[in-house]
Amino acid sequence: MLKPFVDRPRRLRRSALIRDMVHEVELNLSQLVQPYFLSTQNNPEAKETISEFSGVYRWGIDSLSREMESQIDRGLSRFLLFGSTDDKDATGSAAVSQNAKVAEAITKLKKRFGDASLLFSDICLCPYTNHGHCGIVRGESIENDASIDLLCRMALTHAEAGVDFVAPSDMMDGRVGAIRQILDQKQFSDVGILAYTAKYKSNYYGPFREALDSAPQKGDRSTYQMDYRNQREALRELQLDLAEGADLVMVKPALAYLDILSLFAKQSTVPVAAYSVSGEYQMVQLAAKAGIADVKSLALENLTAIRRAGADIILTYFAAEIAEKGWLR
């Protein structure tokens, strides 16, 4: 008796050799960017733990430099730098001062590693302002255009220090175009812009704000960061950042925003990055601690899902551990 035809997808799941041949999505170290925080202390050997941010530190310049060297040896060569200060003021002037810590670090790291590493620097005022907002505050409002002036100066300082990409994360309107213009004017046309294009007002930023002591003191970020009820608005931000000259566009956070990523993957004319943020990272750490799964499996599943949704590049605090432990080998 002839059996009826049965379509059997399981045939392609039968062995590891078949599965590895037909799998669709790759995760490689070359797609990962590791964020690093600079210590505000003057100790070049600093490596300070952050209580609700497992395995993430605030680094001194020398300890960071050695850390990066080991990572580069393992094939992880792309880094995003964050600074902050203990001398916060209303305009975040430490962000733009000539001897700004981040600029100093960029100079030293570039001197040491040259083209063997790619340096990104976050451009925002919140780690430097005493009110913790990403721009200049006047009364109840965050001043868009006055903030842009400062952000441009900050970006220029980092460009002068030799950064490869500046990454404005403030969500002021028009800052990508303004930064592009000043960089070009000052002969830094090779310095790229990784734009935080669709950055949502999210509850996943907790550990990061502890790391930089950058939480808003009054109010929240809802007049500049995006409302998580919105998808169409992300496309508007995408069009603007592309028109203003972004080289790379980013969605942030990542895991709860895979629909936005997948939209960007279809509509963007430049590569798409995803920032898997501090809260996403710490949730995995805590879940593992609670014994419901292990860090490696959860982290790789999440990052692969972010790639599958359409991210070309992923900023993740797991990059260092992945490289260290050879999880992608």
* Residue 124 in the binding site for ligand PBG (CB under 6 A): yes
* Residue 257 in the binding site for ligand PBG (CB under 6 A): no
Size of the site for ligand PBG (CB under 6 A): 13
- For residue 88, indicate whether it is catalytic: no
Partner touching 208 among ligand PBG, Zn ion, none, CB below 5 to 8 Å by kind: ligand PBG
Helix (H, G, I), strand (E, B) or coil at 20: helix
Residue with smaller CB distance to ligand PBG, 170 or 241: 170
Give alpha helix (H) positions in the chain. Answer: 16-22, 61-74, 101-113, 144-161, 175-185, 206-212, 232-244, 258-267, 278-289, 295-309, 319-325
* Residue 273 in the binding site for Zn ion (CB under 5 A): no
Listed in sequence order, the residues at least 6 apart from 162 whose beta carbon sits closer than 8 Å to its beta carbon are 106, 107, 110, 119
* Residue 134 in the binding site for ligand PBG (CB under 6 A): yes
Rounded to 10°, the helix 101-113/61-74 angle is 40
Among 94, 156, 277, 309, binds ligand PBG (CB under 6 A): 277
C-alpha–C-alpha distance, residues 242 and 141, integer Å: 27
Residue with smaller CB distance to ligand PBG, 112 or 256: 256
* Residue 278 in the binding site for ligand PBG (CB under 6 A): yes
- For residue 218, indicate whether it is catalytic: no
* Residue 169 in the binding site for ligand PBG (CB under 6 A): yes
Residue with smaller CB distance to ligand PBG, 169 or 302: 169
In the window 109-138, what residues touch Zn ion (CB under 5 A)? 124, 126, 134
Among 53, 120, 188, 205, binds ligand PBG (CB under 6 A): 205
* Residue 268 in the binding site for ligand PBG (CB under 6 A): no
CA-wise closest residue to 114 among 126, 103, 104, 106? 106
Active-site annotation holder among 47, 199, 266, 325: 199
Name the residue with the smallest CB distance to ligand PBG. Answer: 208
Say if CB 55 and CB 95 are below 8 A apart: no
Strand partners, 37: 58, 82
Q: What is the CA radius of gyration of the chain?
A: 21
Residue 286: count other Cβ atoms within 10 Å of its Cβ.
12
C-alpha–C-alpha distance, residues 80 and 316, integer Å: 10
Catalytic residue positions, numbered: 199, 252
Residues that bind ligand PBG (CB under 6 A): 122, 124, 126, 134, 169-170, 205, 208-209, 214, 221, 277-278
Where along the sequence are the contacts to Zn ion (CB under 5 A)? 124, 126, 134
